[in-house]
Amino acid sequence: MESTVLTTIKQVFLIGIGGIGMSALGRYFYHRGVHVYGYDKTETFLTRQLASEGITIFYKDDVKQVAPQFVEDPSNSLVIYTPAVPKDLGLVNFFQDLGYRLYKRSEILGKISEAHFTIAVAGTHGKTTTSSMIAHILTSSNRPCSAFLGGIAANYNTNLLLADSDLLVVEADEFDRSFLTLHPNIAIVTATDADHLDIYGDANHVLESFHLFVGQVTKDGQRIVKEGLQLPADIRYGLEKSTGAYATNIEIKNEAFYFDYKGYKQSILAIKLGIAGKHNIENAVAAITVAKLLNIDDDLIKSALASFKGVKRRFEYIVNREDVVYVDDYAHHPEELRACLSAMKELYGKKEITCIFQPHLFTRTRDFIDEFAEVLSLADVLILMDIYPAREQPIVGVDADWLLSKVHLKNKYKLSASEVLTYIDKERPAVLLTVGAGDIDLLVNPIKEVLNNV
């Protein structure tokens, strides 16, 4: 039975609608016939998509743009916000002054999940790809599901899947402890590395939050946890030998990854994965284990994983020719960077790898400065951009120059966006990687054009 908070509304306003999670909620309500309005400070490809689908979006913090019905009939209206927006935003104060209770995105997702058999994927990295894999396996195996994803699934070109089904796949976000609104039937935890320390303070509080998350699994539910994580589990998974489910016989053939699945219930041999990287094989092991719990046929699982195209900005091939390979990735934590660079070296280690990295957040750069420096040193050539501040104010002494000074590479540079394009046009790198969670994605198409201008 769905919450009355959701069944009685006729209009919804989303503050920060351009975020990946918020945009999925906007699409969900619009599909239900609700009038959807939203605000975001910046127009992006995603907000333009939402507008083309029929959602009304504003880009100025101007209360005069708010539709009159939100004032006239608050009982039929819902206002949702993301914690990423400033607390002094005019729209936030406007709705609060009208007496609205403002809901976090995670609260609404929790209420939606109450009416479904919920598969929730959590982790400081790996959750977007793993949840997208699970949704693709289910959809491809005639077990339709709804899914709220933290990225644009390339197979479907959306972050929201809707189906007339009891099954729901959700990406469970640890930021601001958002995932504690969920009570999943199946929970997967891919990683518990220290992150969001501006919210949590230290690594122990991050781990404590994950303990609370797995503690909310339903009484007869299953907790699928990566090998080595200090969390209670019903099934553990990993690479090579694990106490539960694992991948073995991993090999690369024609730049594609193959592996055998061993463990829960039975073995599945010679699985081809549609995306690259051992870290994604590990994600696939978790996804396969969920599929086996739901009694999906092995051949359907194999077919789905072979056809899985990944998630936009997760090891996404932008250019893939004999003379040049260009991959773009969202990695913004040292361990995500390590996984991404390791995959590049496994595939293209005989060639020089040029990495362009835009650090995300001053606090994250400060807290993991040595880890970032170590991982970035895996590249052959490093181009560092200025730190993307997002919600933060600058911190004295924390900048890209400090990080660059700690990287042990001969070929390392700090460049602006325009200088990056000039460098690529001149040097024509054979293997190129762009990584970061800020606005580095705005460079992807310009870089592609430069590389294609042979």
Domains of the chain and any CATH numbers: 9-101 (3.40.50.720), 109-307 (3.40.1190.10), 316-452 (3.90.190.20)
Query: What is the C-alpha separation between 289 and 417, in angstroms, rounded?
Result: 42
What pLDDT, on a 0 to 100 scale, did the predictor assign at position 1?
Answer: 41
What pLDDT, on a 0 to 100 scale, did the predictor assign at position 236?
Answer: 94
Q: Does the predicted model carry a pTM greater than 0.85? A: no
Which DSSP letter does residue 285 get?
Answer: H
Q: What is the DSSP string of 132-166?
A: HHHHHHHHHTT---EEEEEEEETTTTEEEE--SSS
Query: What is the C-alpha separation between 50 and 57, in angstroms, rounded?
Result: 8
Contact 189, 213 (CB under 8 A): yes
10 token code pair: 């006729």
Strands (E), 227-309: 235-239, 245-253, 256-262, 268-273
In tens digits, what is the pLDDT along the chain, a chain of 454 residues? 455 567 788 999 999 998 888 999 999 999 999 999 999 988 888 899 999 999 999 999 988 888 888 888 888 899 999 877 877 899 999 999 999 999 988 889 889 998 899 999 998 888 899 999 999 999 999 999 999 998 889 999 899 999 999 999 998 877 667 778 889 999 999 988 756 555 655 667 778 888 899 999 999 999 999 998 889 999 999 987 767 899 999 998 887 889 999 986 689 999 999 888 888 999 999 999 999 999 999 999 999 999 999 888 888 889 988 889 999 988 888 988 888 898 888 888 789 999 999 999 899 899 889 999 999 999 999 999 999 988 788 999 999 999 999 999 999 999 999 999 999 999 999 999 999 988 898 899 999 999 988 6
Contact 159, 146 (CB under 8 A): no
Query: What is the C-alpha separation between 206 and 194, in angstroms, rounded?
Result: 6
Which DSSP letter does residue 68 get?
Answer: T
Contact 378, 338 (CB under 8 A): yes
Residues in CB range of 261: below 8 A, 6 or more apart: 245, 246, 247, 267, 268, 269, 271, 284, 285, 288
Query: What is the C-alpha separation between 136 and 124, in angstroms, rounded?
Result: 21
Max alpha carbon distance in the chain (Å)?
Answer: 66
Where residue 79 falls (left for φ over 0; alpha for ψ -120 to 50; beta otherwise) is beta
Site of tokens 């479907």: 156
